[in-house]
Amino acid sequence: MWRCQIFLRLGGKNAAARVAVQAAVYGLSYCYGAFYTIVLFRQLVNAIQARASFESVLGLLAVFCAMGVANTLLKGWYEHRFVPRSDCAIEQALAASVYQKAASADLACFEDSGYYDRMGRAAATARESALAALDAMSDLLATAFILVANALYVVWVDGTLLPLIALPAALALHWQRKKGALEGRMEEACEPYRRRTAYARRVSLLKEYAQEIRLTGAGKIAAARFREGCAGLMRVARERGWRIALYEIGAEFLLRVVLYAGLYGYAAWRYLACAAFTLGDFAAISGAINNVVWFVEKSGEHIATLRKQAHAAGQLDAFMREEVRVRGGSEPCAFQNEIMLKDIRFSYPGAKRAALTGVSLTLRRGESIALVGENGAGKTTLVKLLLRLYDPEAGEILLDGRPYCAYRLDSLRAQFAVAFQDSRLYPFSVSENVRAGRVESEEAVREALNRAGLAGLAPSRAVTREFDADGWNPSGGQAQRLFAARVFASGAPIAILDEPSAMLNPLAEEALFAALREGSRGRTTIFISHRLTSVKWVDRVVMMQNGTIAEQGTHEELLARGGAYARLFFAQAERYRKEGAPHET
């Protein structure tokens, strides 16, 4: 259960305050309950038995009413004022920790299904498990205090009741702890199946899949995956649930039958057969026995919850301790002259063939470069190494003569403005999509939209209709223009554009590349393109084949050589002549 301390650590001062305040509020509430079940009942019964006047108990009733009013006000403030704000603050702190960890993870992690399971459990743990554990911690503190107080009162009245309380209570708590451990392991076994059903549900409901589901059999496949996930969940419940049920039944039997019947029966015998105490004492003992059983049951539930959440806390802790291989240095980065790649080799995790082999390349400040080649040649992989999303297996990358690893990651990546072919638009405003958290000036946003051919688009308009019925749903070509605007708005010294015109028609493509030529002056600009005619104006063309650099030079130089670039260029030109110009989507 000690593992649950990670919730206190990541939740910060709000988590500690939650435990302290809830323990105090619930402790006072339990004291109020113990007051009327023990003190008030004892005094009332003794007064009735002695035929005392009503005035003799009036003061006690007034204290009881005052305590009830105070308890009601305190719990109302706690549940409706303190808890909602506390929940939000704790959730924000925990989620920020998890998201920062996920954002700092190596990109290779996201190609590992096991990492997705661990990340999914951590994300779920960041709220549900944390709040459940914090509530259990605080209530267990309050419950333990009042349980000990009630048990001491019972033992004070009659010490022979101690073993009748201690033995079944200890065994019941132990079984509840075992039950919690089994529930934690059951949750872990269910996670892959829950992820599968959640994905199938998401595919069935999201707009991105709506068109294909209606036109293909993908919906049936998603439904089959959903059924497989449900079958897996039922199988786990069938195989593991019976043991949990046995511990639950055993603990309930000890509490409801052995403890209740044993304590009440013994107390009744001591009163009736031995006249060991007064009727008022018997009423007080009965109330205390009821409290003891109830608080033992509550303590068992909290221990089971903490044991269950300790499993989730361990998974969260393991996720937070995941080793990061791509680590930054301590030096700030400011690109001045050149980036050199020396004899680079790289393979994706689990791949049998290297994605890059023996790649050596120099990128100079202010130079425009086109990375060209067929699919799978290694163009995008090379860019990911430049961005240090991965590190090479062999060779090294130098920026202004210093190893890449010497620079802080955030500072290094801030040198690049990137528009990948699979970049994403967010359901934020147009301005926020262009700024992407790096550009503050709205004037820069407007200028970037103008350059990208989106002059009539209001920066404040929402992108997509996910949260705004009047939002803008861009076409594929318009989305590419918006990605280009993101690069235009950035002041980064290196711009990378991956297939920036794949969805544009020739006229729109020519206009965009004219804007790119103008906007890239003084910048190092890297274009990735399959369409060679669109990048023939660059300073240098780098032709890649099978993870290596086949040749490089200006467009004219490569055509004159008659090598791989020339063959691909003329093949594309012939196909383009026969098939005609593509249309913007």
In which order are the strands placed within the sheet that holds 416-419? 416-419, 494-498, 524-529, 368-372, 540-545, 548-553
Instruction: For 239-287, write each residue's pLDDT tens digit.
Output: 888 888 888 888 888 877 777 777 778 778 877 777 777 777 777 777 8
Taking domain 338-579, whether its CATH number is 3.20.20.70 is answered by no
Q: Name residues whose C-beta falls within 8 Å of residue 494's C-beta, 6 or more positions apart in sequence.
A: 335, 339, 363, 415, 416, 417, 523, 524, 525, 526
**Cα separation, 142 vs 25, whole angstroms:** 8
Q: What's the token pair of residue 187?
A: 């949750």
C-alpha 215/C-alpha 390 separation (Å) is 38
Asked if the model's pLDDT at residue 585 lies above 60, the reply is no
Show the 3-state SS of 483-494.
HHHHHHHCCCCE
Which residues on neighbouring strands pair with residue 445, listed in sequence order?
none
CATH number of the structural domain 2-180+257-320: 1.20.1560.10
Round to whole Å and give the CA distance between 394 and 443. 44
- Side chain identity at residue 266, one-letter code: Y
Task: Read off the pLDDT of residues 94-127 as tens digits, 9 standing for 90 and up.
Answer: 888 888 887 777 777 666 666 766 776 677 667 7
Q: Where are the domains of the chain?
A: 2-180+257-320, 338-579
Is 554 strand, coil or helix?
coil
DSSP notation for 3-26: GGHHHHHHHHHHHHHHHHHHHHHH
* Phi/psi-derived region of residue 504, left when phi > 0, alpha when psi is between -120 and 50, beta in every other case: beta
Beta-carbon contacts of 107 under 8 Å, excluding residues fewer than 6 positions away, are 326, 384, 389, 390
Burial class of residue 466, CB neighbours in 10 A (0-12, 13-18, 19+): middle
Question: Model pTM?
Answer: 0.67
Tokens describing residue 374? 């067929």
Which tokens go with 130?
A: 């944390």
How far is it, in rounded angstroms, from Cα 447 to Cα 429?
A: 16
Report the range out of 12-16, 424-428, 574-578 with the highest average pLDDT: 12-16
More confident residue, 200 or 521: 200
pLDDT at 93 over 70: yes
Q: Where are the alpha helices (DSSP H) in 207-255?
A: 207-215, 218-253
What pLDDT digit, counting tens, does each position of 79-89 carry? 899 999 998 99
pLDDT of residue 576: 62
Residue 229 has pLDDT above 80, yes or no: yes
Phi, psi (rounded to 5 degrees) for 531? -90, 100
Q: Residue 15's Cα: distance from chain center in Å? A: 18
d(CA 228, CA 232): 6
**Residues sharing a CB contact under 8 Å with residue 470, sequence separation 6 or more, in sequence order:** 461, 462
Helix (H) or strand (E) holding 112: none
Joined together, the tokens standing for residue 480 give 């590419």
Q: Nearest Cα to 366, choosing from 524, 213, 510, 226?
A: 524
pLDDT at position 551 over 90: yes
To the nearest whole number, what is the mean pLDDT of the chain?
A: 82
Q: By the 8 A CB rule, do 333 and 407 touch?
A: yes
Whether 141 contacts 1, CB under 8 Å: no
User: Of 44-53, 200-209, 330-339, 456-465, which has the strongest mean pLDDT?
Assistant: 330-339
Instruction: Give DSSP secondary structure letters for 497-532.
Output: EESTTTTS-HHHHHHHHHHHHHHTTTSEEEEEES-G
